[in-house]
Structure 1
Amino acid sequence: MPVPTPQLGSYKYVQETKADLDWADLITIDLSLYSTPEGRKQLARTLITAVREKGFFYVNNFNISQERVDRQFAIGRDFYELPLGEKQNYTVDGLDQGKFNGYVPAGRRILEEKSGLRDQVEIYNIPKFTEHFEHKHPKIIDDRLAEIKEFAKSLHAEVLDPLHVLLAIALELPEDYFTSRHKYEVKSEDHLRYMKYNKYTPEEYAKLGELIVRGHTDLGSWTLLFRQPVAGLQIKDHSSGEWKWVKPQDATLTVNTCDALSLLTANYVKSTIHRVAVPPKDQQHVDRLGLLYFSRPYNDVRLSTITESPVLQREGFTQNRFEATGNPAPTMDEWTFAKQKWQRTKGYASAEYENAQILPGWNERKYT
């Protein structure tokens, strides 16, 4: 249940764009159907279509009120209004080694080599509320930590657990197959994120061209993204290969499948390529605040292809990229920090960087 919380100002969302964009036609998972066996079977069929053909999908009726979501956006807003020096006191120790819990300042990456234009993205990551992680935060976060904890655990119970059950049903596995590898109390690198894309000047947008963040995949199981009216997110449709804009929907989560599920299913469940584009002109004058949750299996889960799934066996999905090259699949811990270290590399993204081998059997790539 929601906990008593300190006073927060109201949060006002940016007006949606009036631009005529090529929006993705995404499937919706309606969790109001989840309460019956018949409903779960129906949703499992819908989910597997979504993750194989589209990659991103919407989730609604997930039992978390819009008021609670708005309060999280207000907390993120208030954090980013702190003076830079105060935020920097909470900079992640070990960014260059792939650590990520805490504040990640803007400006680590050069986006345009000739001018030296740097990224203007700030991140604040909050790990799980378990004995495995230290929680040291500025007062604006610390005063609301009980509320943030309750919100994060609600996401786990109300959204992630059902998605894991539905995926297990779709793969003809025991319903607890994935939930037993994603229990909240066990150590994993899940985290809640407040993320701010600070606006650029018109001259800087011209130098960026079309993109702020190039195409990439997320490394965990699922990423949950709350409605953000500033258009920017684009996905690469699994079926057509075309880039499509993702339209914010009221009272919904936008969800994508990530690398860990792709490895566990030998790419039957596809990790979704996505990027952040320069917003349409009627939204280029505002900042873009994001609220996200990243789900990951336990650190000691080995990302080997699931052999127990009759579906994967019938369809011939029996080896992931590591196994196909004769390399052992990494544990989630090894995978997380190898990919995070690569992602957090400072400087300009050279061809050598973009194609770097981060683990034996895995060369990275960026997607234009």
Structure 2
Amino acid sequence: MGSISGTDVAQASVVNIPIVDLGPFSSPSSTAEERRVAAEALVRACRDVGFVYIQNHGVSQEELDEAFRVSKNFYDLPREEKMKAPHPPGWAVHRGYSWPGLEKVSNILSKTDDEESVKQLREVQDFKESYEVGSDNNPNQPNVWPPGDVMPEWRPSMTSFYWTCFEAGKRILRALALGIGLDEDHLLGYHSGDYNQLRLLHYPPIPAEAVEGGKFARMPAHTDWSTMTMLFQDDCGGLQVEDPRRPGEFIDAPPIPGTLVMNVGDLLMRWSNGE
């Protein structure tokens, strides 16, 4: 896969997820034209595919390595230790540790939310675990932290990484706004940094036949409700993207060193009038 410019993205095959370089949004020597070309490349990729690899996103490899290291240390803990920072009951607050089977991801909206519909949906469990972190300034989503004697490095490390990711997000939001034809800071006015979500995901080992036989799933196909999602992968892979021109067919999105994968969320789709 090669880097794709603003003039190339529209012609790119959808089986190849575009790669866009946002370097012009970090270099003070970049010209307005260079920023515009990069911004339009990003928007074209978002419109034509919905997913895009981003180079020069602003999160260093050292910071990513540290985040993955700390995350692994947490997931290597015994379950009883992880359960000392449990996800709160119910669906409203997304913080803390979610154990395998707690969350069920679905793109099916039930009009009734009756118990039978929920029961049928949960017959195939999602076999994964996650930990969700946010800003301590968000009164509606209070953080849930492991006790200091369980994992003292978790809170400072993940708090720092949360704000590092927001700085990268600001770069992408500026490019999106400019590429759509708005003032570069337009979308930033709606993103304070206090209402984002950092999610650390882990997929424990499971026999292949348990997934192939339909007893368990990993993360079923879905859209994200947010403005956008920035996804950092390790070297395991597994991410797939539905082909927008061939519904039901999925494209592998393997890890590419030095990039993140960004996808459009439902909110950005609405804000841009489906653009």
Is the counterpart of residue 143 in structure 1 residue 153 in structure 2?
yes
Please show how residues 184-333 of structure 1 align to structure 2 within 5 Å.
Answer: 184=193, 187-188=194-195, 190-208=196-214, 212-241=218-247, 242-268=249-275
Please, which of 23, 47, 72 is the counterpart of residue 42 of structure 2? 47
1:271-305 C-alpha deviation (Å, 9 max, x unpaired): xxxxxxxxxxxxxxxxxxxxxxxxxxxxxxxxxxx
Partner of 1:123: 130
Partner of 2:24: 33
Matched residue pairs, number?
239
Gaps of 5+ in 2: 1-13, 106-118
Query: How far is the alpha carbon of 1:24 from its aligned partner?
Result: 4.0
Query: How far is the alpha carbon of 1:109 from its aligned partner?
Result: 6.2
Query: How far is the alpha carbon of 1:209 from its aligned partner?
Result: 8.6
Q: Which amino acid aligns with 1:104?
A: S
SS in 1 for 2:174: helix
Q: How far, CA to CA, are the matches of 1:48 and 1:163 in structure 2?
A: 10
Is the counterpart of residue 181 in structure 1 residue 190 in structure 2?
yes
- 8 Å CA contact 1:117–1:204 kept in 2: the answer is no
Query: How far is the alpha carbon of 1:161 from its aligned partner?
Result: 1.1
Q: How far, CA to CA, are the matches of 1:260 and 1:167 in structure 2?
A: 13
Is the counterpart of residue 105 in structure 1 residue 99 in structure 2?
yes
Q: How far, CA to CA, are the matches of 1:153 and 1:43 in structure 2?
A: 24
- 8 Å CA contact 1:123–1:194 kept in 2: the answer is yes
SS in 2 for 1:230: coil
Q: Which amino acid aligns with 1:204?
A: A
Gaps of 5+ in 1: 1-22, 269-368
Q: How far, CA to CA, are the matches of 1:179 and 1:147 in structure 2?
A: 25
Query: How far is the alpha carbon of 1:127 from its aligned partner?
Result: 0.9
1:286-329 C-alpha deviation (Å, 9 max, x unpaired): xxxxxxxxxxxxxxxxxxxxxxxxxxxxxxxxxxxxxxxxxxxx
Q: Compared with structure 1, are the counterparts of its residues 243 and 135 closer, same or farther at alpha carbon in structure 2 (3 Å cutoff)?
A: closer
Query: How far is the alpha carbon of 1:97 from its aligned partner?
Result: 3.3
Q: 217-226 or 160-169: which moved more?
A: 160-169
Query: How far is the alpha carbon of 1:196 from its aligned partner?
Result: 0.9
**TM-score normalised by L of structure 2:** 0.78
Query: How far is the alpha carbon of 1:142 from its aligned partner?
Result: 4.0
Partner of 2:170: 161
Q: How far, CA to CA, are the matches of 1:193 and 1:109 in structure 2?
A: 13
Query: How far is the alpha carbon of 1:177 from its aligned partner?
Result: 0.8
Is the counterpart of residue 67 in structure 1 residue 62 in structure 2?
yes
SS in 1 for 2:260: strand
RMSD, matched Cα: 2.6
Q: Which amino acid aligns with 1:166?
A: A
Larger proportion of strand: 1
Query: How far is the alpha carbon of 1:106 from its aligned partner?
Result: 1.0
Is the counterpart of residue 90 in structure 1 residue 85 in structure 2?
yes
- 8 Å CA contact 1:227–1:250 kept in 2: the answer is no
Q: Compared with structure 1, are the counterparts of its residues 84 and 78 closer, same or farther at alpha carbon in structure 2 (3 Å cutoff)?
A: same
Q: How far, CA to CA, are the matches of 2:22 and 2:80 in structure 1?
A: 43
Query: How far is the alpha carbon of 1:211 from its aligned partner?
Result: 5.6
Please, which of 70, 76, 80 is the counterpart of residue 71 of structure 2? 76
Q: Compared with structure 1, are the counterparts of its residues 234 and 38 closer, same or farther at alpha carbon in structure 2 (3 Å cutoff)?
A: same
SS in 2 for 1:123: strand
Q: 190-199 or 147-156: which moved more?
A: 147-156
Q: Compared with structure 1, are the counterparts of its residues 211 and 104 closer, same or farther at alpha carbon in structure 2 (3 Å cutoff)?
A: closer
Q: How far, CA to CA, are the matches of 1:26 and 1:202 in structure 2?
A: 27
Q: How far, CA to CA, are the matches of 1:72 and 1:257 in structure 2?
A: 24
- 8 Å CA contact 2:170–2:188 kept in 1: the answer is yes
Q: How far, CA to CA, are the matches of 1:110 and 1:31 in structure 2?
A: 34
SS in 1 for 2:225: coil
